[in-house]
Amino acid sequence: MLDIRLIREQSEQITARLAARGGESHLRINDILECDRERRAAETRLQQLQSDRKRISKEIGQRKAKGEDTSSVEAEVRALGDEVAKLNEEAALLDARQRDLLLQLPNLPHEGCPVGEDASANPEVRIWGERPAYAFTPQSHVEIGERLGLFDFERAAKVSGSAFVCFTGAGARLERALVNFLLDLHTREHGYTEVSTPFVVRAEALVGTSQLPKFEEQLYRCERDELYLAPTAEVPVTNLHREEILNPEQLPIRYTAYSPCFRREAGSAGLGTRGLIRMHQFDKVELVKITTPEESAQELEKLTADAEHVLQLLGLHYRTIELCTGDIGFGSTRTYDIEVWAPGQQAYLEVSSCSSFGDFQARRMNLRFKDGDGKNRFCHTLNGSGTALPRLMVALLEVYQQADGSVRLPAPLHAYFGSERLG
RNA sequence: GGUGAGGUGGCUGAGUGGUCGAAAGCAGCGCUUUGCUAAAGCGCCGUACUCCAAAAGGGUACCGAGGGUUCGAAUCCCUCCCUCACCGCCA
């Protein structure tokens, strides 16, 4: 959520920066300003009337204590009270409308965010390793996995429908090995604290991290209980500290969490095809940070490096791109995507998206810290995958497939998996 | 699911219709005293919104949330949420 005062005072710059995202969000600025003017006018009048009422009511109390008759004044104040109620309703309506408008407005891209219209304008910021060469035609993970009995889409569909998977045997064990490997790496080497949160969340949490109100159709909802399945651990983890005022000594907070992620993927291309690349449910190890505004930029670089470290340890060729203004997510000010090479797909797969949200989410969840002067300021929040598991598995299977049809795992996984190879 | 208790400022905790944004204590900040520490004394010490060009200074709201009664609600009534305890059920 953007600061209404900033919008009021720098409406032209704000409009221009939102326009860089494409879309139509910047066109709402004038509506917001108008609503803000109306709201403040109503509030000012309301406050004047309330002030009158308060004063007169106090006088009534004093006069009654002296035994005076106050019935005529009471009638007068009653009329005032009716007017207050009416204006109060009007002001509340305007306030709700303004909040709604602000909640629908995306974040401002960071000054450093490259300007561009769409994904084709995303600059590559780093590339690590090289595309491996094969003496044979690399197979897709789907073929490899079915041959080695690592997962089963047909049976998962019997249970849950299409775009779900059931890992089986060594596949399930590999999944578990990856979770442990990633959590150990981030806690032991990167300084994160492991948390294991609820996976079912309230609407307010989703508003906090900005999945709601705009992206409701992407969420699984449990209507009876007014709860949603978390689409990413970002939601429960970041919201752990909602409505809090943190001490600066606590910052930065760095959390890592394993969680399943549930996404309806309404309108997504590619859901009809088999494979692990896009599903309604997948596992992920997430990285979340809560920082001061001063530290957030460097913490984003570190967070991205932590996610990249996963791929480096596993010897997987990847590239890191920065999303341009036309491609960054709704709440993000700045995002790095890490894409791993998958030879069976002949494509780079996004395994991590590392973003800084500035104070956008913190405003929505009223997450603040007390600075050195004792003033309450909004925190900055960040998150990134570290990493998504099915796509990591895709890369591992496809990259490390052997001519004999087996898969040789990279060394860091041997102990976690309990074996050096699959098949 | 049932029964009971309860939700007040950073914390503890008073307050059951008016002068209460809220006693008191603790913590915190400033000053005085002091060789230092300690102790004592005095003062300050919530948040949000809003008015004013800004500062100074006003105003309004907020005692879990929402509604109601009243000239006036932390206080009375209703609904909901949450926490705790015990019982039941259950991985």
Is A272 in the same domain as A384?
A: yes
Q: Which residues, other chains included, contact A30 with Cβ-Cβ below 8 Å and sequence gap of 6+? A: none
Q: What is the DSSP letter of A132?
A: P
Q: Which residues 176-195 on A are within 7 A of strand B at the CB atom?
A: none
Is A98 in the same domain as A123?
A: no
Is residue A51's beta carbon less than 7 angstroms from any atom in nucleic acid strand B? Answer: yes
Q: How distant is C1' of B79 from CA of A47, in Å? A: 28
Is A99 in the same domain as A193?
A: no
Is A81 in the same domain as A34?
A: yes
Is A27 in the same domain as A150?
A: no
Q: How distant is C1' of B56 from CA of A204, in Å? A: 40
Dihedrals phi, psi of A381, to nearest 5 degrees: -120, 150
| Per-residue CA distances from A108 to A20, A210, A329, A380, A389 (Å) | 9, 14, 10, 14, 30
Overall number of domains in chain A: 2
Range of the domain at A79: 4-104
- Are the beta carbons of A401 and A139 closer than 8 angstroms? yes
Active site residue ranges of A: 263, 278, 350, 353, 391
Whether A162 maps to a domain, the answer reads yes
Strand B nucleotides where any atom sits below 7 Å of a protein CB: 10, 18-19, 47-51, 58-61, 67, 70-72
Is A28 in the same domain as A159?
A: no
Map residue A374 onto helix, strand or coil: coil
Is A270 in the same domain as A339?
A: yes
Interface predicted TM-score of the whole assembly (ipTM), two decimals: 0.82
pLDDT tens sequence for chain A (423 residues): 899 999 999 999 999 999 999 989 999 999 999 999 999 999 899 989 998 998 888 888 888 877 777 788 888 888 888 888 888 888 888 888 898 899 999 999 999 999 999 999 999 999 999 999 999 999 999 999 999 999 999 999 999 988 999 999 999 999 999 999 999 999 999 999 999 988 888 888 899 999 988 898 899 988 777 788 999 999 999 998 888 888 888 889 999 999 999 999 877 765 656 789 999 999 999 999 999 999 999 999 999 999 999 999 999 999 999 999 999 999 999 999 999 999 999 999 999 999 999 999 999 988 888 887 777 889 999 999 989 999 999 999 999 999 999 999 999 999 999 999 998
Is residue A49's beta carbon less than 7 angstroms from any atom in nucleic acid strand B? Answer: no
Map residue A152 onto helix, strand or coil: strand
Q: How distant is C1' of B20 from CA of A64, in Å? A: 19
Whether A138 maps to a domain, the answer reads yes
A252 prior amide bond cis, ω within 30: yes
Is A191 in the same domain as A67?
A: no
Whether A113 maps to a domain, the answer reads no
Last residue within a domain, chosen from A70, A104, A138: A104
Is residue A60's beta carbon less than 7 angstroms from any atom in nucleic acid strand B? Answer: yes
- Side-by-side strand order, sheet with A200-202: A200-202, A227-229, A221-222
